[in-house]
Amino acid sequence: MSAVVSLREVHKSFGAVEVLKGVSFDVAAGEVVAVIGPSGSGKSTALRCINRLEVIQSGAIEVCGRRVDDPALDLRALRRDVGMVFQSYNLFPHLTVAENITLAPRRVKRTPTGEARRLAEEALAKVGLSEKIDAYPEQLSGGQQQRVAIARSLAMQPKVMLFDEVTSALDPHLTGEVLKVMEALARGGMTMICVTHEMGFARRVADRVIFMHTGRVWETGPGAMLTAPQTPELQTFLASEL
């Protein structure tokens, strides 16, 4: 299958610190890829480069047929195709759940208000929060707020979803809530790249796991590689995660 996301020899530095040192990988349509690795290995930076939240120094990134490293890239078009969910929910506290979700479709895609509301209802049904459509963020638990953040991305009908440590601020019960939603999206055929510390999720749900270490793709394979790591670095990392 042709790649929906493709990174080729991507280098990214912050000042004198090189964070990505020639990262290359492809993600096919409908594939779920889990990116794991210790803090500082470049996982989140790679994700942010895919969505052009960071500009790379060299190499090439292509997403949905667009060269992300092209200075003339249409950012609005890219963001229509790529949804991103962060560790912090980033919901507007003064807006209801419906208003948070419909804001981007109305502003970016010029979706009529009634149609945007319908998209919000569909997205909330997918994350199991239909009854919260008129609630405010402060009335929701952390897990519910993160599920609304996922629904907000889904309402844009993206071709690719990026998840950056979306459960790291949640307790185990709320983490389970959010992971169930992500598993359902995976079963539905959504192309997903998930930076995660949830090894059980990576083993169970990911079609492929990418282990990053010191700014490089160090080891890659199916979820089963987490029970039989090939490198000492992955062995050490997995031992630290237990």
Looking at the domain assignment, is residue 174 inside a domain? yes
Q: Count how many domains the chain has.
A: 1
CATH number at residue 185: 3.40.50.300
Looking at the domain assignment, is residue 237 inside a domain? yes
- At 51-74, the pLDDT tens digits run 999 999 999 999 999 999 999 999
Looking at the domain assignment, is residue 182 inside a domain? yes
- At 65-105, the pLDDT tens digits run 999 999 999 998 998 899 999 888 889 999 999 999 999 99
Looking at the domain assignment, is residue 211 inside a domain? yes
- Residue 216, domain extent: 3-91+159-241
C-alpha distances in Å from residue 110, one per residue of 70, 74, 88, 114, 136: 26, 17, 26, 12, 24
pTM of the model: 0.94
Looking at the domain assignment, is residue 148 inside a domain? no
Over residues 136-151, the mean pLDDT reads 94
